Structure 1
Amino acid sequence: MKNYILASAFFLAACEQTKPKADDEQINLQTNAPANVSEQSKPTQKLSRLDSIEKANGASVMASGDHITRASVFLKGGDSTIHLTSNIRQDHRIFGYAQPDMRSERLLLLSVFTDDVENNPFGCKFGSYYDTSGMDKLTLKYLSTNNNFVKAAITDQNNQTSMIYFEKKWIELL
């Protein structure tokens, strides 16, 4: 019991000590730069929010395994339009890229997650949607499959067409 009291007293004394300021904190004080997180710029806060969304929603999709919703293309007797109907019980998070490379610019997002879709947080050029029925002014047409990507044409309301690439695992050819 005596050792417990001594350890508690030592711990309390240590907690009351103030830690010395780091060199970068002193520099921030001298240059009037924000010294704490609450005063950081909005781009940093937005980036950390996007990172948080990316981590949580990406993990949920990975945990779903093969129990996910895929977009479908009806090649036989169809017009090669890419369709995706959202299913709240199955995850999907499909980015459309500018190049057949997941590190290229993200042009479109189809996702079951509200924080992925509302206000287009990732700034996708063609927007973010729950499914293709919400894309009133856009159409997606399957063109070809190249390695791990599906090449498609995305056409806007002004009949302007751009190329877009989706990971092959998200597109089901029927």
Structure 2
Amino acid sequence: MKKAKYFIAISILIAACTKPGAKEETKLDSRSQTAGVADYQHKGTTVAEASENIGQVVKVSAEEGETPSSDEQGTKAYVFESDSSIHLTANIRQEHRIFGYAKPDTTSNKLLLLSVFTDDVEKNPFKCELGAYYETDGMKQLKLKYLQTRGDFIEAVAIDHLAKSRMIYFEKKWIEFE
């Protein structure tokens, strides 16, 4: 493990010395971001200093089932007032994890998930009855229509390709109107 740390430190040092003003950035995994990656002083940087700088990389990871806060710059779904349709287009640079619930209560049954995270969408690990999708364009057999706002939730209807409908509720903080 020590050899790996020294190898990384030397690699960073070499990269920093060959690219003046460069900033080293590492993607930790599909559910993480890097924060606080240090810019290196190119003159007089030692291996020991470079090793210390490696510790300044902070991993920020969403826990299983945790939703990014609405205060963060996340992707939101949009209701188009012309036809009341609900749309969300995924942006890999902005996180989103939006659940559709059976009742206007976050502890009720999760019916639908719109998420940027592959681990959330592939194989539907939350067992959402209507499925898990990256964005609404991926829902070929399902359409979402806004009905009304109820407190901290919006009430919508999910309509499948056979015209069967199902009531669904989304937290209002994840929805914007256009």
TM-score by length of 1: 0.64
Separation of aligned partners in 2, 1:101 and 1:117 = 22
Corresponding residue number in structure 1 for 2:159:
155
Secondary structure in structure 1 of the residue aligned to 2:63 = helix
Separation of aligned partners in 2, 1:104 and 1:114 = 23
Number of positions where the alignment pairs a residue of Structure 1 with one of Structure 2: 118
Instruction: Report the residue type matching 1:67 in the other structure.
Output: Q
Instruction: Report the residue type matching 1:73 in the other structure.
Output: V
Corresponding residue number in structure 2 for 1:170:
174
Corresponding residue number in structure 1 for 2:125:
121
Q: How does 1:2-151 map to 2 (within 5 A)?
A: 55-56=63-64, 58=66, 61-62=68-69, 65-75=71-81, 78-151=82-155
Corresponding residue number in structure 2 for 1:28:
none
Secondary structure in structure 2 of the residue aligned to 1:55 = coil
- Greater percentage in helix: 1
Secondary structure in structure 2 of the residue aligned to 1:116 = helix
Identity across aligned pairs (percent)? 56
Separation of aligned partners in 1, 2:63 and 2:91 = 21
Are 1:57 and 1:113, in contact at CA under 8 Å, matched by a contact in 2? no
1:4-54 deviation digits (Å, cap 9, x = unpaired): xxxxxxxxxxxxxxxxxxxxxxxxxxxxxxxxxxxxxxxxxxxxxxxxx97
- Greater percentage in strand: 2
For the aligned residues, what is the CA RMSD? 1.8
Moved over 6 A (4+): none
User: Offset of 1:66 from its aligned partner?
Assistant: 3.0
Are 1:140 and 1:153, in contact at CA under 8 Å, matched by a contact in 2? yes
For the structure 1 residues 121 and 56, does the alpha-carbon distance in structure 2 shift closer, same or farther, using more than 3 Å as the test?
closer
From the CA coordinates, give the structure whose radius of gyration is larger. Answer: 1
Secondary structure in structure 2 of the residue aligned to 1:101 = coil
Secondary structure in structure 2 of the residue aligned to 1:115 = helix
1:122-159 deviation digits (Å, cap 9, x = unpaired): 11000000000000000000000011000000011111
1:96-128 deviation digits (Å, cap 9, x = unpaired): 000000000000000000000001011100000
